[in-house]
Amino acid sequence: MKILGIESSCDETAAAVVENGVKIFSNVVASQVDIHARYGGIVPEVASRQHLLSITPIVQKAMDDAQVGWKDISAIAVTSGPGLAGSLLVGLSMAKTLAWAHRLSLVGVNHLEGHIYANWLIDDVPGFPLICLIVSGGHSDLILMRGHGDYVRLGCTRDDAAGEAFDKVARILGVGYPGGPAIEKVSRDSANSADYPLPRAWLKGSYDFSFSGLKTAVLRLFNCLDEPKPASDIAASFQEAVVDVLAAKTIEVARNYKVKRIVIAGGVAANKLLRKTVQERSTIPVSCPPPALCTDNAAMIAACGYFRFKQGVTSGLGLDVEPNLKLG
């Protein structure tokens, strides 16, 4: 069973064809990173306009790359939230049009749920129950997943998400955009990160996260230093602080809930230090998709859509976007 997935929640326009939730036939992504880099962040109106220009050729390329026609597609899965309202509307409108024109079922997918299902697109398919750490530009969540569609949110960010903190600190240090890859790259040049210790917000007795104070600590430290500014060392210290908290809380909750596996998902899951730290500290098996499937893509939406469709879950053409949609 082949599912066409469409994703446009933020600044990537993406389409993919996935079979049975696990096999990628095509996965096409048009990134807007270069467009938004000049502003140091995503401009919602610019993003939605770019989606309008990209969505039709991207869907067509996904179909062409997969070498399938509409008779081969069983359903269309599309991100309905969370995300930027204008961006979401472009992808959803395209999916509705195609579903109506080709008499296909429409499956609305939670973007965060989609990130989790990127772990079904690798060889080692996870078993239940599992703990998922979702870390992206707008989310830092710990989710207990007891089965397909069965989620309990155990922890979330109280202020800045991890990816958002990366972007803001990268802007403070002047190392580039997007912040995650920029911080990771410049941290490799660090030799003295220990000279700039930064705080960790542990929030005792909670699985929640907080990175706002850490971001402020970086700003104060950077402003107090004389030239030349040791950007690589501060970046490395910041990255270590974020990873330390993410890894510790994930492993703690996984141990307490006696799960079979830890899965990591979302754009920040591409961070090598995070992947390495969780894997080295955990006695529970850890899964993480390759970096290309951590960032926003439509293959993960199609994979999630397959399992929802298989359970008989579909959406009508009245489906609307939910910019603040929660998971669990």
Domain boundaries, the chain: 2-118+293-310, 127-288
C-beta separation of 134 from 140 below 8 A = yes
Q: What angle do CA 273, 37, 299 make, to 5 degrees?
A: 60
**What's the whole-number average pLDDT of the chain?**
96
Residue 162: CA atoms inside 13 Å, Cβ hemisphere, count?
A: 33
For residue 284, what pLDDT is reported?
A: 96
Question: Which residues, 6+ apart, have CB-to-CB distance to 60 below 8 Å?
Answer: none
Q: Which CATH number fits domain 127-288: 3.60.10.10, 1.10.3720.10, 3.40.190.10, 3.30.420.40?
A: 3.30.420.40
Phi, psi of 124 (to 5 degrees): -90, 85
Cα(136)–Cα(270) distance, integer angstroms: 10
For residue 127, what pLDDT is reported?
A: 92
Confidence of residue 123 (pLDDT cuts 50, 70, 90): confident
Residue 21: CA atoms inside 13 Å, Cβ hemisphere, count?
A: 17
Q: Do 2-118+293-310 and 127-288 agree at the fold level?
A: yes
C-beta separation of 91 from 122 below 8 A = no
| Third-level CATH fold of 2-118+293-310 | Nucleotidyltransferase; domain 5 (3.30.420)
Give me the sheet containing 286-287, strands edge to edge. Answer: 150-155, 140-147, 130-135, 261-265, 286-287
C-beta separation of 186 from 133 below 8 A = no
In this predicted model, what pLDDT tens digit does every residue of 135-189 receive, in sequence order? 998 899 999 999 999 999 999 999 999 999 999 999 999 999 999 999 999 999 9
For residue 226, what pLDDT is reported?
A: 79
Q: What is the DSSP letter of 149?
A: T
Closest CA relative to residue 292, chosen from 20, 19, 24: 24
- Kindly state the average pLDDT of the residues 110-135: 96
For residue 44, what pLDDT is reported?
A: 93
